[in-house]
């Protein structure tokens, strides 16, 4: 998704026409706000927007010719058939149940298409649903803080009261990236000066909260993903500024200075924690880099290396179609490798690598289909960006989100968790909405 080369063409506002459309939009907004805040209302919202989509959508032939939809459908059918066969072939009831549960969750990832229909390729709606999602995540985080014992020690303690720390770090890092990438929407001129100052202040406070959350996660995978994506964002904005007339520099300096000071305060107050996390387990890293992987220490780094070695061994036994959805945990437990795959007293819950997990569960065929889906979605969004159908900041946001997640997936696996499914449906649906809206443009006025 490169920077747009054409000016953005605004999407005209079209009023909602009937009760079905209103119901679909209610489902959209309920799902996006409660996705990371409350699973029950989020599920209700997702069901509502999906059902109304099935009732109202009438461009199935157009959708059937779209490469993104075709690959998504192929992947979904592959997972469904694969899981059905594996369910009857698994040697134990536990493995069969894992296949049934996880296979169903994998298929749910295709629900990004109904959400794309309701977002309707409207930049204002994309901004709204992303902001609602971030607001829900922020409120959920505040709700999980123990305010009765809140003190200075909170800022030196790993925060995992809401989500596992690496998952919390991912969402906090993505929230910070989103606020940075779309900052001009908050800084824009408004009817009254106090409105602009209020929006700018909200943006600054929100950004600091997300950055603090990223640090409190103490997740090195999230830190690497954030830094990699931030570097790409800086490069993209630098190139865009060279190609266009930049805003007066004196207007940018106060915001840049304020952000640098705030970031400096956060980093200086937690430099010991950062130093500890960055220097911890360096001996294991040196072992790995020197090629001594057979006797690597069973710390977090060593466990991940051993999990990858285990993946390679099991994959060689079933290279094309894998072992079944969600079965890695049971196979780890039955391996008997207490010296390499046991985390303290518990077996590893998964392989701590989304690519390895996909390969383990669905084989080379499944991994190639998953990669093809992401590639097709990224390519189609890039085409929409080059045609000027997206604002430049949203193009950059989608790209840096992809970079972040590609890095983060090297260190963890949460594809079938509810929080990840919400994230995928929301981001993939928002990105795909611009292509879907163009393909179904004649009938697109019934979505509000």
7-17 pLDDT per residue, tens: 555 543 434 56
Q: Residue 392 domain-assigned?
A: yes
Q: Residue 308 domain-assigned?
A: yes
Res. 177: pLDDT tops 60: yes
Number of structural domains found in the chain: 1
Res. 375: pLDDT tops 70: yes
Res. 87: pLDDT tops 90: yes
List pLDDT tens digits, range 19-56: 889 999 999 999 999 999 999 999 999 999 999 999 99
Q: What pLDDT is attached to residue 2?
A: 43
Mean confidence (pLDDT) of the chain: 87
Q: Residue 82 domain-assigned?
A: yes
In 202-347, beta strands by DSSP E = 342-343, 346-347
Q: For residue 104, how far is the Cα from the chain centroid?
A: 19
Of 71-85, 174-188, 424-438, the poorest mean pLDDT is in: 174-188
Average pLDDT of span 140-155: 88
CA atoms within 13 A on the CB side of 238: 6
What are the angstrom distances between the C-alpha of 366 and each of 74, 270, 360, 383?
10, 42, 9, 26
Q: Residue 35 domain-assigned?
A: yes
What are the angstrom distances between the C-alpha of 441 and each of 21, 37, 117, 172, 435?
16, 33, 11, 35, 10
Per cent of the chain over pLDDT 70 is: 83
Q: Which residues of 128-141 are buried (b: 16+ CB within 10 A; e: fewer)?
A: ebbbbbbbbbbebb
Q: Residue 55 domain-assigned?
A: yes
Res. 227: pLDDT tops 90: yes
CA atoms within 13 A on the CB side of 405: 20
CB neighbours of residue 271 within 10 Å: 10
Q: What is the spatial distance between Cα 174 and Cα 401, in angstroms, rounded to a whole number?
A: 7
Average pLDDT of span 387-399: 95
Query: In this structure, are residues 350 and 102 in contact, taking their beta carbons and an 8 Å threshold?
Result: no
Return the closest-CA partner of residue 230 out of 356, 99, 400, 377. 400
- Across 172-181, 182-191, 295-304, the highest mean pLDDT is recorded for 172-181
Q: Residue 185 domain-assigned?
A: no
- Tokens for 84? 């059905």
Q: Residue 114 domain-assigned?
A: yes
CB neighbours of residue 67 within 10 Å: 15
Res. 432: pLDDT tops 90: yes
Domain that holds residue 47: 1-143+300-448
Q: Collapsing DSSP states into helix, strand and coil, what is residue 12?
A: coil
Name, in order, each residue with C-beta under 8 angstroms of 252's C-beta and a sequence gap of 6 or more: none
Q: Residue 163 domain-assigned?
A: no
CB neighbours of residue 107 within 10 Å: 17
Res. 294: pLDDT tops 90: no
What are the angstrom distances between the C-alpha of 63 and each of 27, 387, 440?
22, 20, 8
Q: At what angle do helices 392-408 and 354-386 cross, to 10 degrees?
A: 170
């Amino acid at each position: 998704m490169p920077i747009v080369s054409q000016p953005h063409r605004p999407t005209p506002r079209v009023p909602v026409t009937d009760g079905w459309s209103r119901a679909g939009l209610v489902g959209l907004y309920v799902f996006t706000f409660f996705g990371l805040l409350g699973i029950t209302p989020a599920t209700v919202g997702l069901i509502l927007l999906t059902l109304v989509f099935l009732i109202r959508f009438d461009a199935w032939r157009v959708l059937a010719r779209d490469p993104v939809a075709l690959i998504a459908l192929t992947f979904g059918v592959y997972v469904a058939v694969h899981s059905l066969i594996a369910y009857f072939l698994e040697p134990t009831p536990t493995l069969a149940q894992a296949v049934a549960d996880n296979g169903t969750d994998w298929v749910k990832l295709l629900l990004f298409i109904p959400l794309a229909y309701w977002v309707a390729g409207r930049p204002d709606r994309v901004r709204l649903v992303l902001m609602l999602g971030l607001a829900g995540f922020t409120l959920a985080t505040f709700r999980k803080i123990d305010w009765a014992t809140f003190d200075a020690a909170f800022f030196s303690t790993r925060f995992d009261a809401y989500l596992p720390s690496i998952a919390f770090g991912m969402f906090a890092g993505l929230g910070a990236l989103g606020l940075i990438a779309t900052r001009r929407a908050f800084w824009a001129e408004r009817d009254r000066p106090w409105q602009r100052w209020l929006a700018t202040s909200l943006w600054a406070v929100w950004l600091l909260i997300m950055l603090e959350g990223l640090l409190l996660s103490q997740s090195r995978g999230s830190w690497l993903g954030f830094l990699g994506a931030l570097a790409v964002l800086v490069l993209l904005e630098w190139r865009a500024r060279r190609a266009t007339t930049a805003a007066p520099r004196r207007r940018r300096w106060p915001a840049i200075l304020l952000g640098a000071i705030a970031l400096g305060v956060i980093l200086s107050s937690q430099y010991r924690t950062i130093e500890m996390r960055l220097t911890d387990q360096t001996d294991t890293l040196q072992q790995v880099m020197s090629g001594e992987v057979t006797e690597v220490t069973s710390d977090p780094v060593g466990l991940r290396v051993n999990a990858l070695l285990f993946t390679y061994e099991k994959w060689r036994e079933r290279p094309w179609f894998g072992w079944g959805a969600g079965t890695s945990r049971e196979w780890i437990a039955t391996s008997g490798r207490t010296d390499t795959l046991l985390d303290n007293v518990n077996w590893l819950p998964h392989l701590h690598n989304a690519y390895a997990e996909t390969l383990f569960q669905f084989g080379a065929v499944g991994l190639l289909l998953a990669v093809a889906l992401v590639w097709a979605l990224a390519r189609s969004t890039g085409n929409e960006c080059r045609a000027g159908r997206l604002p430049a900041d949203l193009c950059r946001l989608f790209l840096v989100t992809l970079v972040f997640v590609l890095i983060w997936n090297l260190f963890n696996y949460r594809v079938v968790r509810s929080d990840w499914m919400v994230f995928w449906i929301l981001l993939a649906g928002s990105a795909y909405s611009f292509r879907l809206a163009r393909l179904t443009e004649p009938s697109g006025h019934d979505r509000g």
